[in-house]
Structure 1
Amino acid sequence: MLLTCKIGFSSTDSVMPLKLVEAGIPKEKLGLIAVPMIPIQVLLPLVISKYSTGPKPLNVFLKAIPYRLLLGVGAAFLVWITPTLVPDASKGLPITYVGLLLVLYGAHQACLYCMYVSIMAFFAKISDSKVGGTYMTLLNTCTNLGGNWPTILALYFVDPLTWKQCEGGVEAIDNACRTSVERDLCVSKGGKCVTTIDGFYIETVICIVIGFLWLWLWGSKTIKYIQALNENAWKLAKRKTDKR
């Protein structure tokens, strides 16, 4: 469960910031968006902890997943509308666009902290105190690994999923600009490789579909099952020693 629960968010979390930068939004502007979120990031764990300290802390985790998946639609919309709302980022960002960024980022942080606080509460509940922090470290490592490998795949598949076409030039070329050779050929003929379908949108849809299928077919049942287990099921078995 820990290794697969973040597949549905991988495109939004890893590719969207890069697409905003590609659309012309400066990195420092995106960095400043995080400043107003600091009070929210401080208060969210305090609020969420009230609902994650009971016998079923993963209920919060489970309820946050659909909302975080749907934020992928908002992320794709934001990337799509960025060139229209911000034709020239050097002149500053419009208030409307900043508002959209803050709303989307705030909603993302809320879902992120709901999942993070609840999963940490569950780890603290089931960890065997006999081995100290080693148990929680192992669980956290699995959680981090479950977020890293989908990110790598999401970044890798953006370009293969992107559709481009060579346009312009002195000759009509049936060139999809898939390889460096095709791109060089397009430029040599006076053309330009133009993106017709950005792979980010295709990847976002695929990730959202995978995320909901994971939740409905396996994730929800698995989370409820492991949460219902007795705490003794998570304890390390005592090693029997021979008495002579």
Structure 2
Amino acid sequence: MRARCVEKKIFARVSFIMKFFDIITATALVRFTRKNSLITFLYAYPFYMLATCSNGLMLMFAEQRVADGYILPALMGVNLATLLAHHGVYLSSQGFFYYIADENMGGVYMTLLNSLFNFGTMWVDTAALKTIGVMDRDLELDEDYCKRYQNGTDIYDPTETPFTGWDSFYYMCMFSIVAGSIWYAVFFKKIKQLQKTPVEEFRLTKNKKLLTDEK
């Protein structure tokens, strides 16, 4: 986005405003993710993929939105959609972990599940950013290119943009959609079936030694 002439102050404004939406959406979605957590997850997951990859469209038209002065509401819309989808996925998974957590193991079990969930998501973001960095390492921009939009009089000309062809971010979005869709198709029935599994099936059985027995 910075290379598309989006100034840092725009990101600061979006980040500040989204703090309020973050609290509001998280509070509102908690009640929907407690009873049918995995069903909520199955609905939120495809929306999360689309919302995340909508950033690709935002990136494609970012410079044009800067030129016409609508970059702030455009970023707000994309970030709000992504935030809603992210809360739907995260809160539903946490709701399921809370549902199956065994009281005999206290907070250890819940912490372990949460740690595994975070580990399984954060490395994907890091690997994606590293990949984009390698693909764009030879891209050089004119330092004065974005100054044309600072006075608000210059008009966006697609023939003058330094970005031609497909950006590496677009390839990452396409790969994410394909990989995510395959994963969704493979695990959809299994995840849906877990929602119907009695909570007792996730509990420690008499054949397994309790942690308290070892003390």
Same fold (TM over 0.5): yes
Residue 59 of structure 1 pairs with residue 39 of structure 2: yes
- Is contact 1:60-1:114 (8 Å) kept? yes
Aligned pairs for 1:1-244 within 5 A:
20-54=1-35, 56-87=36-67, 94=69, 96-159=70-133, 161=135, 196-216=165-185, 218-237=186-205, 238-239=208-209
Aligned partner of residue 236 in structure 1, secondary structure: coil
Structure 1, unmatched stretches of 5+, are: 1-19, 88-92, 167-192
Equivalent AA in structure 2 for residue 124 of structure 1? Y
| Higher helix content, 1 or 2 | 2
Q: CA deviation at 1:33?
A: 0.4
Structure 2 vs 1, CA of residues 73 and 150 (structure 1 numbering), >3 Å: closer, same or farther? closer
- Is contact 1:72-1:208 (8 Å) kept? no
Per-residue CA distance 1:195-219 (angstroms, 9 max, x = gap): 6432111111111111112111x23
Supply the distance in 2 between the matched residues of 1:148 and 1:86 (Cα, whole angstroms): 30
Q: CA deviation at 1:28?
A: 3.9
- Is contact 2:6-2:63 (8 Å) kept? no
Equivalent AA in structure 2 for residue 224 of structure 1? K
Percent identity, aligned pairs only? 23
Q: Give the TM-score normalised by structure 1.
A: 0.68
Supply the distance in 2 between the matched residues of 1:194 and 1:49 (Cα, whole angstroms): 42
Structure 2 match to 1:190: none
Q: Give the TM-score normalised by structure 2.
A: 0.76
Aligned residues: 188
Q: Report the RMSD for the aligned CA atoms in angstroms.
A: 2.7
Structure 2, unmatched stretches of 5+, are: 141-161
| Higher strand content, 1 or 2 | 1
Supply the distance in 2 between the matched residues of 1:135 and 1:163 (Cα, whole angstroms): 43
